[in-house]
Amino acid sequence: MSNVDQQQEKREFGAEFHSLWRITFCPAIWALHFTLSYCTAAIVCAKGGSVEMLRAGIAIGTVASLVAIAWLGWRSWRQWDLVNDREWENDAGTSEDRHQFLGHAAFLLSIISFIGVAYVALPALLIETCR
């Protein structure tokens, strides 16, 4: 392999390594949202604090998480590139298919994370006290 090839490969690999992580970004946002909601609720309920503030805080955190997930989801939708090539399966051993497959997986995970975050936010919406 020539030097140029290697450099190109490094660049490609860098980008792609990133994209294997990228499929976990949305679930990671769900995890972060979940942990923060649970911890703040636990601290506010234990140490005494304004439940109204808590609910407002969870609302803000939820909106921020949903926006972030939606943005990542849109990016992975672009990466999947369904509109242009109508390819659902991406099952060939090529760089293009691997790239689009990772997009597809990330896109699906963003949907599930979106639902997950919305679910977890419901308690703060519906329950008005700690008790």
Partner 1 sequence: MSAPERMPAPEGPFPPTEEMLSEPVPQEEQERGKAELRAAWKTPEGWRYWSAVNNTEVGVWYALTAFAFMLIAGLLALAIRVQLAFPDSQFLDADRFNQFFTMHGSAMMFLFAVPMFEAISILLLPAFLGARDMPFPRLSAYGYWCFLIGGIFVLGSLLFDAGPKAGWFMYPPLATKEEGIGPDVWLLGLSFIEVASIAAAVELIVGALKCRPPGMRVNIMPLYAWYVLVVGGMILFAFPPLIAGDFLFELERSFDWPFFDPTRGGDPVLWQHLFWIFGHPEVYIVFLPSIAIAAMIVPTVARRPIVGYSWIVLSAVGTGFLSFGLWVHHMFTTGLPQMSLAFFSAASEAVVIPTGIQLFAFVATLMVGRVKMSLPMLWIAGALAIFVAGGLTGVMLALVPFNWQVHDTYFIVAHLHYTLFGGMVFPVIAGVYYFFPFFRKKLLSERLGRWCFWLVFTGFNVTFLPMHMTGLMGMPRRIFTYPESSGWGWLNLISSVGAFIVAAGFAVFLYDLLRPKHRQPQIPRNPWGAGTLEFSHDVPEEAWGVRSIPHVTTRYPLWEQDRIVERMDAGHYYLPNAPDRKRETIVTSVIDGKPLYVQEVTGPTWITILAAVFTGGAFIFPTFHIYTPAIVCGAFAIVCVLWWLWTSTARPPKNDMREAGLGLRLPTYASGPNAVGWWAIWITMLGDATAFASLVFGYFFYWTARPDFPPPDAAHPEGLWAALTAALLVLAWAAIVTARETNGRGHQGVARGSIALAICAAAGGAGSAWLAVADLSPTSHVYPAMLWALMVWLVAHVAAGVVMQGYCLAGSLFGKLTHKYDADLRNVTLFWHFIALKALVVGAILGLAPMVLS
The contact set with partner 1 (CB under 8 A) reads 1, 6, 9, 12-13, 16-17, 19-20, 23-24, 27-28, 30-31, 34, 37-38, 41-43, 45-47, 89-93, 95, 97-98, 101-102, 104-105, 108-109, 112-113, 115-116, 119-120, 122-124, 126-127, 129-131
- The minimum distance between CB 27 and partner 1, in angstroms, equals 4
The helix or strand, by DSSP H or E, that contains position 76, with its residue range, turns out to be helix 51-80
Helices (H) and strands (E) in the chain, counts: 5, 0
Nearer to partner 1, 5 or 84 (CB): 5
What lies within 8 Å, CB to CB, of 120 at 6+ separation is: 30, 33, 34, 37, 62
